[in-house]
């Protein structure tokens, strides 16, 4: 990987993954931008990590597997550390400032790739952050992995996304109560795009020994919504 620290906004890499630093509302934001594998499609996904106070970072295995599944489907990805995590500056802000960090990353992605649809994905706390910003950011696709309904976050205040929405939940989750997730989803009414829910039996919160199944669930779930492939320059 290369590392870039410039005053000007960094450029999205085209040939290989790059660790970059982006100006954010609480200081520098550390991120990893990775081009799609194979034939790329006109979408870039931002993937949000789990709770940093419990060790969550952009290097979390569920986050990296989700990003891998997206890239294998032709979608470029961006993973980033929220404030106070890794090399990102600032302090944890209970989800409020983390939403601002996500907005800054999305603004950069849209500036760098204006012809691309913006997709959002998140795991656990990252699912809450991306969900709570979906109405404002208007993604083309939303992926929520183990959204922490029933924990400390106000899911009743979330406006459901007006886009295709994939929810993946392990039925043996020891951190997020699966029944609370399903009850919250069942209570959502009048959605133009109701969520496609994938329930994974015998699966823990961190998808131990089930990461490849998670990869398959993501690839299968997004397949109907993949945008057009980008033709090669001379194609």
Give pLDDT tens digits for 37-51.
989 999 999 999 999
pLDDT at 65 over 60: yes
pLDDT at 235 over 60: no
Could you tell me the pLDDT band of residue 232, with boundaries at 50, 70 and 90? confident
Hey, where are the domains in the chain? 2-221
Domain 2-221, CATH among 3.30.2130.10, 3.40.50.2020, 3.40.50.720, 3.40.50.1820: 3.40.50.1820
CA–CA gap between residue 125 and residue 180 (Å, rounded) = 15
The pTM score is: 0.95
CA–CA gap between residue 142 and residue 120 (Å, rounded) = 5
Q: What region does 91 belong to: left with phi over 0, alpha with psi -120 to 50, or beta? A: beta
Give pLDDT tens digits for 205-230.
999 999 999 999 999 999 999 999 98
Q: What are phi and psi of 199, to 5 degrees?
A: -95, 120
pLDDT mean across residues, the chain: 94
How confident is the model over 183-190, as a mean pLDDT?
Answer: 93
How confident is the model over 19-32, as a mean pLDDT?
Answer: 98
Maximal C-alpha separation, the chain: 52
Give pLDDT tens digits for 170-179.
999 999 999 9
């Amino acid at each position: 990987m290369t590392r870039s620290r410039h005053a000007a906004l960094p450029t999205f890499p085209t040939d290989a993954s790059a660790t970059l630093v982006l100006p954010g509302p609480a200081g520098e934001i550390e991120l990893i931008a990775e081009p799609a594998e194979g034939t790329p499609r006109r979408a870039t996904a931002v993937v949000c990590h789990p709770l940093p106070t419990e060790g969550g970072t952009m290097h979390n295995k569920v986050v990296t597997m989700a990003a891998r599944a997206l890239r294998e489907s032709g979608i470029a990805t961006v993973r980033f550390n929220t404030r106070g995590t890794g090399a990102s500056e600032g302090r944890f802000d209970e989800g409020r400032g983390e939403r601002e960090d996500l907005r800054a990353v999305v603004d950069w992605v849209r500036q760098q790739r204006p012809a691309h649809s913006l997709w959002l994905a998140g795991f656990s706390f990252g699912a809450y952050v991306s969900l709570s910003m979906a109405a404002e950011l208007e993604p083309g696709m939303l992926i929520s992995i183990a959204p922490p309904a029933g924990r400390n976050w106000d899911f009743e205040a979330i406006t459901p996304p007006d886009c295709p929405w994939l929810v993946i939940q392990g039925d043996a989750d020891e951190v997020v109560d699966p029944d609370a997730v399903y009850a919250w989803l069942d209570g959502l009414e009048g959605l133009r795009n109701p969520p496609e829910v994938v329930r994974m039996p015998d699966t823990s919160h961190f998808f131990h020994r089930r990461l490849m199944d998670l990869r398959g669930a993501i690839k299968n779930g997004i397949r109907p919504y993949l945008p057009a492939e980008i033709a090669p320059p001379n194609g």
